[in-house]
Copies of this chain bind each other. A is one copy, B any other.
């Protein structure tokens, strides 16, 4: 593949056109679809460099895979990002279950992988301001990675965003622009401001580079399993960016000849926010423009119109996986089950992946599944308290001293 001196190109997943990095901004010029551009590398060439890069890395973090990332180590933020633990879960049914605990990242979520890359790219471009529309984890991650970098961070948040989530974002020093309306209005306002002021837009869906940061979680899982792949991987799906990136990571390992098969990717949605499940079930592609009302307490996967729906549909279909739907009661129960059996405390959106494994049914005795925990339970203690699931559990004893 001739990449004209660049280490990668961008391919439109809709029309298959290929562009060099300086030929496109966020969209494919002809299709103009959210989340349609995909970074592609010269995988045959990279194959050997990948393993060498991993072996020569001093740290177990996301940058040990720099050969398949669109940046160099020179610009990466200083915070230790990625390199999260993979645990074998005590599991009563058949098969083996592993937990990938990505809540252990600097700001408490997997989104740190994308934001670390965003800040590296902004630093490389010499951009002075970086912005994102988000109510939660992506914003906290961007604010965290921008802190101390000399790059100004502006977050566009719906007025409905929780004060607790905004507190973390503002603690890191990000400026918060409250936008009246929901996520869509915040997204539009961020897009307009970035266009007007020349800011770098890290919003999920529009920025194709963000998948590149997130895909490192797939490389890590594979390396932690001695370069074998699990049979299934359960991933929570909101905008679809994470599930798309997990697919991409495992697919690239195959393209480089490091692995020989794909894990079946199991996308898990909340029953109150199940756009991708319906699109997959209906089989008529990801382009339905109709947003569906979203109602789930799992805020990090509550999305009316998934921004990365093209990649999110491809991930499940091309890997032979499935979409699974779980309700909020199952999600909150999964928080307790995960914390009690493995010591990993997940936020609702992250625990959905484990609820999905339970809902989907028993693994085959020889199957291995990985559950991806994408965010920390400390981020949404209020949601856990409000769910009532702790009241239903054994009541506290009271002792008179």
Contact = CB atoms under 8 A, between A and B. Distances in A.
Interface of A: 60, 77-80, 85, 87-88, 90, 104, 106-108, 144-145, 147-148, 156, 159, 163-164, 166-168, 170-173, 175-181, 185-186, 188-189, 335-336, 339-345, 376-379, 381-382, 384-385, 390, 393-394, 396-401
**Identical copies of this chain, number:** 2
A132 to B, nearest CB: 14
A176 B384 contact: no
B176 A401 contact: no
A376 B377 contact: no
**Dominant secondary structure at the A interface:** mixed
Contact of A339 (B90, B173, B378): B173
A107 B227 CA distance: 29
A376 B118 CA distance: 24
A172 B399 contact: no
Given A175-B394, A394-B175, A399 B148 contact: no
Q: Which of A85, A90, A178, A189 has the most CB of B within 10 A?
A: A85
A171 B401 contact: no
A315 to B, nearest CB: 28
Contact of A79 (B85, B148, B168): B85
A107 B171 contact: no
A393 B147 contact: no
A357 B390 CA distance: 40
B177 A396 contact: yes
A160 B311 CA distance: 49
